[in-house]
Amino acid sequence: MKRALLLYGFWGWPARRGNWFRDEKVLLEKLGYGVTMPLPKSPSSYFPSNRRWQTTIHSFTPDNGSVLVGFSLGGKAILDYLNKAGTNIDTLVLLATPIETIAKKDASSKFQPKISQIIFNILGYKRQSYDWSKIKRSARQIICIYKRDDVRVPLSHGIRLAKELSAQLVILEGKDHMWDVDLDKINNVL
């Protein structure tokens, strides 16, 4: 059976109003995927630490038939995992994934650099250098999906990530942080 793991980001838990995760889970199941989508069990789970996500990914045991979907910090956790583990998977989908804290030069973001740094530090998302070629080799297909005017993670992160990973870059219109997503645009690339 094909398997998929969906990881959300900071305050981006799957039942939040406007979040597309629930619908994506249903669509992937219709496509024959067994979907793992961790749900928050306490208020602290709305803010998943990198350590928690590393344990979740490890328990999922990704293999060459797996699809890993990471939204925002969930995508950063997947990058951290693949950078360390070097596991081979089928498809990696990164949505609005920050690859570093938001810098002052990314002034289009309403997410202040200081707040970004605090969140990264508290949740254990360390600034690190990635072995891009190792991550690139770990997935048969890599797709980066970003909003043109995302208020949290600037498009510049997606452009850099797509370049580093030789990934397909899908740019959606809008200013929200992936709360309103046309699932057909995601599923068409899977």
Which CA distances in Å does 169 have to 27, 39, 144, 182? 22, 28, 5, 15
In this structure, what DSSP letter does residue 118 have? H
What are the strands of the beta sheet with 139-147, ordered from one edge?
A: 33-36, 2-7, 66-71, 89-95, 139-147, 168-172
- The whole domain housing 12 covers 2-187
pLDDT score for 165: 96
pLDDT score for 169: 95
169: part of which helix (H) or strand (E)?
Answer: strand 168-172
- Lookup: tokens for 21: 């995760």
pLDDT score for 69: 92
How many folded domains does the chain comprise? 1
pLDDT score for 123: 53
- What is the CATH number for 66? 3.40.50.1820
Cβ-proximal residues to 94 (8 Å cutoff; 6+ apart), any chain: 70, 75, 78, 79, 142, 143, 144, 145, 161, 167
Q: What is the pLDDT of residues 107-161, one digit of tens each?
A: 454 555 555 555 555 555 566 688 999 999 999 999 999 888 887 788 888 999 9
Q: Report pTM.
A: 0.84
Residues of the chain with pLDDT below 50 are: 17, 103-104, 106-107, 109
pLDDT score for 9: 77
Instruction: Give the span between the Cα atoms of 114 and 96, in whole angstroms.
Output: 19
